[in-house]
Structure 1
Amino acid sequence: MKLRKLGSIFLISALVLTGCQSSNSGKEEAAKESEKELSVVSATVSATQVLDKLDANLLGIPTTKQELPEKYKGLPEVGQAMNPDLEIVASLEPDVFVMDNMFKENVEESMKEYDINTFYFDTSTYSAFLNSIKELGKETNKEEQAAKVVEELKDVEKEAVAKKGEKEPTVAIIFGGGENFMLATETSYLGDLAKTVGAKNIATDLDTKVESPYIQFSLEQILKQNPDYILRFAHGNIEETKKSFDDAFDKNPAYKELDAVKNNKVVDLDPSIFNVSANLQVKEAITTLGEIFYGK
């Protein structure tokens, strides 16, 4: 009887020990997987800049005329952001393929043919950009590096608003392409940046339910809101649009009634710093907006 009891005890102990070893082994495997150096292919310049900061292992880069990090030069090109060559991407066998979320619909149908783990990087607003950096860090096992990049951007925000008083500066952000002008709302990249540095966008008062990043407006609406600042951003044919801006403001005397015009607070945003979507140059963009609204 005693021998049977001892046998049972040894059997239970062995099972418990085996279970513990199996559990520990599972945890070790999970830990190894989370520390694994993942290979990445990027089809977007913005994400490639971030991946450089994360010190990611890149196998392929976007085809672009824009400047890419030096260490990635010479890598295979996978096409432009709006239409990457998925056959080349698949041939590189990345653990993660990074695409601009703006062009997700362009490739969704074609993507079904390939078994590629795809991360869609959102650059539509500054807030979305920050979140995408965090999520990309998780996706590529670079969470610590991603947190550092986000922290650096948050520090730039704090510095930009250091001289802000209690009053919110009001602003109209006029977005132009040729002779077509629209107002950028808070759901646009530029509008979200202005909000980040503490400015109040008059577009919100014109349409409180607005979801579109840009809305039509009338001069009467601008006159009624009378913003402290007017930011003008030329897109597309920049020189042509700048001329259209100047012609509109010079030829229509109503513009001269605006406080922003009277106080010389109409600012043309530098297209080498500002854009319609986010990238790591956002640091300079935030600093510049802080200087415009609150001084250097």
Structure 2
Amino acid sequence: MKLRKLASIFVLGALLMTGCQAGGTTGKSEDVAKEKTVVAATVSGSQVLDKLDANVVGIPTTQLEMPEKFKGLPEVGQSMNPDLEVVASLNPDVFVMDNAFKDSVEKSLKEYDFNTFFLKTNTYTDYIKSIEELGKTIDKEEEATTLINELKNIEKEVKSKKGDKAPTVAIIFGSGENFMLATETSYLGDLVKTVGGKNIASKLDKNVENGYVQLSLEYILEQNPDYILRFAHGNLEETKKSFDKAFDKNPAYQELNAVKNNKVVDLDSNVFNVSANLKVKEAIQTLGDILYGE
């Protein structure tokens, strides 16, 4: 009888062990295996994916700084022209690209069966929405919400300094000697709007969809903004020289309140850009200091 009882105990134990193994209980290695794999062909997207703790298996080829944990991963080429064969070899569940390059790659993408997500970076507002959508796409909704709340809290902190102030702002975008005015549909224009500044370009034709319009000194003189933000693109040194030359040699600029009150600010290209990235945290805080600081 004792032998029969012992045998029954061993059989029952074996069945329980087998049941646990076959039952698919959530072991850590299995959870990781279930995560969606992602290939990123965008630096901005890579930054977001890092914050979302995504399972990234491929990154863009770039000289820009990448998240530490992505270093050494296979490279898939530059953001504007990724090597789709390399992407295919990595067999990702989701392929993340910058929406700015959608038109240039859409035809080539038809040859592959990628689940492609186009991250929108043209404005801060679209960037926030895109982070939320990306979180849903790769099953990282909680992480996406955390990141968005972090950005929103920085917004609130800056707006708390605003008070009743509503400073008028002109954003002059320069490349070489070609100057343009940034509208609210540009990244920089949308940032100014986000922190409560009034972009003088908003008084232009409401149907203006372009992020930039040709600069009119006459219009700037008419609006006489409280602040002028200058952003150099391309050859930074040459553009900055062109900015200074234009402001110093044209007496009309000297009539502006922003010039008289020393409120002409050159935006740091290490913080600001023409498209959104996670430097936006510092960008929002910097704009707050410019517009609402002592």
Q: Aligned AA for 2:70?
A: Y
Q: Does residue 138 of structure 1 match 2:152?
A: no
- Equivalent runs, 1:131-280 vs 2, <5 Å: 131-280=129-278
Distance in 2 between the 1:286 and 1:88 partners?
37
TM-score normalized with structure 2 length: 0.88
Q: Is the 8 A contact 1:36 1:141 kept in 2?
A: no
**Alignment correspondent of 1:41:** 39
Distance in 2 between the 1:217 and 1:236 partners?
18
Q: Aligned AA for 1:94?
A: P
Q: Deviations over 1:54-80 (max 9, x none)?
A: 110011000001000000000000011
Deviation, structure 1 residue 165 = 2.0
User: What secondary structure is seen at the aligned counterpart in 1 of 2:76?
Assistant: coil
Give unpaired runs (5+ residues) of structure 1. Answer: 1-31
Q: 2:81 aligns with which of 83, 107, 122?
A: 83
- Equivalent runs, 1:103-118 vs 2, <5 Å: 103-118=101-116
Q: Is the 8 A contact 1:233 1:271 kept in 2?
A: yes
Distance in 2 between the 1:254 and 1:120 partners?
44
Distance in 1 between the 2:234 and 2:214 partners?
18
Distance in 2 between the 1:238 and 1:214 partners?
18
Moved over 4 A (4+): none
**Alignment correspondent of 1:4:** none
Distance in 2 between the 1:55 and 1:275 partners?
25
Distance in 1 between the 2:250 and 2:162 partners?
33
User: What secondary structure is seen at the aligned counterpart in 2 of 1:171?
Assistant: strand
Q: RMSD value over aligned CA atoms?
A: 1.3
Give unpaired runs (5+ residues) of structure 2. Answer: 1-29
Q: Aligned AA for 1:257?
A: E
Distance in 2 between the 1:145 and 1:163 partners?
28
Q: Aligned AA for 2:68?
A: E
Q: Aligned AA for 1:167?
A: K
Distance in 2 between the 1:244 and 1:134 partners?
40
Q: Deviations over 1:57-106 (max 9, x none)?
A: 01100000100000000000001110000000011000000000000011
User: What secondary structure is seen at the aligned counterpart in 2 of 1:127?
Assistant: helix
Overall identity of the aligned pairs, in %? 72
Aligned residues: 264
Distance in 1 between the 2:171 and 2:34 partners?
45
User: What secondary structure is seen at the aligned counterpart in 2 of 1:253?
Assistant: coil
